[in-house]
Amino acid sequence: MEATRPVVEIDHLSKRYGALTALEDANLDIREGEIFALLGPNGAGKTTMIGCVAGLVVPTRGTARVLGHDVQRDYRFTRRAVGLVPQEINYDPFFTVEEILRFQAGYFGVRLSDEKLEELLRAMDLTAKRRSGTRALSGGMKRRLLIAKALVHDPKVLFLDEPTAGVDVELRRDLWSYVRRLRERGTTIVLTTHYLEEAEELADRIGMIDRGRILLVEEKRKLLERFGQKSLHVALAEPVHALPPALAGRGARLLEGGCAIEVVQPAHEELGPVLREVLGAGLHVRDVETRRSALEDIYVRLLAEHGRQP
Amino acid sequence: MIALGPRTLFVKEVRRFLRVPGQTLLSPVITTVLYLVVFGFALGGSMRQVHDVPYVTYIVPGLIMLGVISNSFLNTSSSFFMMKMQETIVDLLISPLTHVQIVGAMVAAATVRAAMVGALTWAVAAIAQREAAIPHPLYAIAFPLLTSIGFAALGLLTAIWAEKFEQVNFVPTFVITPLTFLGGVFYDVQRLPGFFATLSHFNPILYVVDGMRYALIGSSSVDPLVGLGFLVVFDAVSIAICIQVLRVGWKLRS
């Protein structure tokens, strides 16, 4: 695979608040055009790390660069390249949706074109509310307005801090599809989440962080392959009393009073041979179900290895 | 030509106070009119003379400055504190606006509000007295303008420092209002007993009110240039502190 230039480079970044270490010697590169998910429990340091890049947090040590520019020395350059959707919903009750978007673009030195405004309103399903005061928006609409605000200046990299916290299932799906569309158009996306499903659904690469330390950074596919497991659940038409020896050798278990067999094996191994042995033993198969162990299992295991309850 | 970024913040701030004109423009003018009616007319003020002018004429410059001071302070302090509370301050902190641009835009918008309140107050007083002559028009612009710049910066600092609404009100209640009332808005401090007259000269607001009096009625107790000099220093210091505080990120960036 062709290596792409990092859009964000985090280099030995640390942040301390008195005795509390929020971030400890973090190193991370975000590649151009990827969706990177930063996973970790509450208080792990996800928001601090994003804050260091976006300009909300001044690091105690280390540097962060965006497109090769230092975020503190060259803040005027890097902030134009970064969009941030903060975790907390904010809104200014004095102004309408449209005014807020125009002001936000103005802060970035951009005059928001009518086409761009329409596009953002449409994408965030806020067209009908463009002249409404922000107080009249529902929680979901306010969150969508935050995303629209972060996009007014066409950032090269978009940080989404817990974008779907407290968001209903339908909106979550809509947001996910919009995030994918943004990526297709070349925006690099970094999202923090503690919804594992979100990371599994969206991310190309995953970073896991806990107590300010990055525990692991890996491509999602490889992570699932390396740590993941696959289980095959075979429901039988007639119960059996004992496992056929070939299956027993594979570590299979008899379940549901002999009505089902379950085999668990590494995710990268084929299931074909197992099925052949089931059929070869003359068993009558009623149904077959497979399940990949999800990111959640990996996450729980990894945190447990570091002595933590997720 | 001012860049689009700070211009946007300025326009937003001006529109914010224009959204609620009853509260931000009308209410201060009504307060001033009440002072004018009660002190200037009802309590026998129309018969008294101070420095060869009717008492009501004497108190108008001070009342204008009262409006200018409190409204410039309130505009930055309430707007910036609201931004902090509603967390919309993030929008500014992640933007490429420089610290100088943020301070400049916030202060300029507050100056506009102060100028509007001052002009309305002056107009109401002029109508009431059927007298609209301004002996020193340049001073009449310079004093309110320089005063509002400094107090707007002070409002910004207060909003950055404050963590509760009560603290935002602390400065106007315990500092600005007492100093203004003791700064010769309603009386000539020279008439106070010796010690208090001397003490009054340590009150910076005295020079501001006195300077405006020179601009509008042509006489004052202190040389207006002293007042202007003081204001220039006050503005420079408070603006410099604001910029430095934003640069360091005190109470704003963690």
Could you please report the per-residue DSSP string of A229-272? EEEEEEEESS--SS--HHHHHTT-EEEGGGTEEEEEEETTS-SH
Buried b (16+ CB within 10 A) or exposed e, A177-210: ebbeebbeeebbbbbbbbbbebbbbbbebbbbbb
- CA B122 to CA B127: how far, in whole Å? 9
Q: Is the pLDDT of residue A298 over 80?
A: no
Contact A300, A208 (CB under 8 A): no
Helix-helix angle A169-184:A139-151, to 10 degrees = 10
Tokens of A165: 């916290």
- The pLDDT confidence band at residue A112, using thresholds 50, 70 and 90, is very high
Asked whether the beta carbons of residue A109 and residue B87 sit closer than 8 angstroms, the reply is: no
Which residues in chain A are closer than 8 Å to B82, comparing Cβ atoms?
92
Contact B40, B129 (CB under 8 A): no
State the average pLDDT for chain A.
88
Chain B interface test: which of A94, A98, A137 (most B C-beta within 10 Å): A94
Which residues in chain B are closer than 8 Å to A81, comparing Cβ atoms?
none
How close is the nearest chain A Cα to the Cα of B12, in Å? 7
What pLDDT score does B56 carry? 85
3-state secondary structure chain B: CCCHHHHHHHHHHHHHHHHCHHHHHHHHHHHHHHHHHHHHHHCCCCCCEECCEEHHHHHHHHHHHHHHHHHHHHHHHHHHHHHHHHCCHHHHHCCCCCHHHHHHHHHHHHHHHHHHHHHHHHHHHHHHHCCCCCCCHHHHHHHHHHHHHHHHHHHHHHHHHCCCHHHHHHHHHHHHHHHHHCCCCCCCHHHCCHHHHHHHCCCHHHHHHHHHHHHHHCCCCCCHHHHHHHHHHHHHHHHHHHHHHHHHCCCCCC
Asked whether the beta carbons of residue A90 and residue B87 sit closer than 8 angstroms, the reply is: yes
What pLDDT score does B222 carry? 83
Nearest CA in chain A to B6: A107
Nearest CA in chain B to A22: B254
Which residues in chain B are closer than 8 Å to A108, comparing Cβ atoms?
5, 95-96
A288: nearest Cα among A279, A297, A301, A296 = A279
Token pair 């936000």 is at which residue?
A104
Chain A interface test: which of B11, B90, B93, B246 (most A C-beta within 10 Å): B90
Of A80, A88, A109, the CB nearest to B4: A109
CA A174 to chain centre: 15
Per-residue pLDDT of A169-178, as tens digits, reads 888 888 888 8
What pLDDT score does A253 carry? 87
Per-residue pLDDT of A132-165, as tens digits, reads 998 889 888 898 899 999 999 999 999 999 887 7
Token pair 């030995």 is at which residue?
A12
The reply to whether B87 touches chain A by the CB within 8 Å rule is: yes
Asked whether the beta carbons of residue B254 and residue A51 sit closer than 8 angstroms, the reply is: yes
Per-residue pLDDT of A284-294, as tens digits, reads 888 998 887 66
Per-residue pLDDT of A206-263, as tens digits, reads 999 988 899 889 898 888 777 777 888 999 888 888 888 888 888 888 888 888 999 8
CA B104 to chain centre: 16
What pLDDT score does A222 carry? 85
Chain A interface test: which of B2, B95, B252 (most A C-beta within 10 Å): B95
The dihedral through the CA atoms of B30, B31, B34, B39 has a sign that is negative
What pLDDT score does A251 carry? 81
What pLDDT score does B37 carry? 85
What pLDDT score does A4 carry? 64
CB contact residues (below 8 A), chain B span 198-227, against chain A: none
Of A58, A77, A92, the CB nearest to B88: A92
What pLDDT score does A164 carry? 79
The dihedral through the CA atoms of B62, B68, B71, B72 has a sign that is negative
Those residues of chain B that have pLDDT short of 50 are none
The reply to whether B1 touches chain A by the CB within 8 Å rule is: no
Token pair 């299979």 is at which residue?
A252
Asked whether the beta carbons of residue A111 and residue B254 sit closer than 8 angstroms, the reply is: no
What pLDDT score does B3 carry? 92
Q: Is the pLDDT of residue A3 over 60?
A: no
Of B3, B11, B254, the CB nearest to A57: B254
Contact B246, B99 (CB under 8 A): yes
- Average of per-residue pLDDT across A94-115: 95
The reply to whether B182 touches chain A by the CB within 8 Å rule is: no
Element (H, E) at A39: strand A35-39
- The pLDDT confidence band at residue A1, using thresholds 50, 70 and 90, is very low
B158: nearest Cα among B238, B57, B97, B69 = B238
Of B3, B98, B253, the CB nearest to A56: B253
The reply to whether B251 touches chain A by the CB within 8 Å rule is: no
How close is the nearest chain A Cα to the Cα of B67, in Å? 23
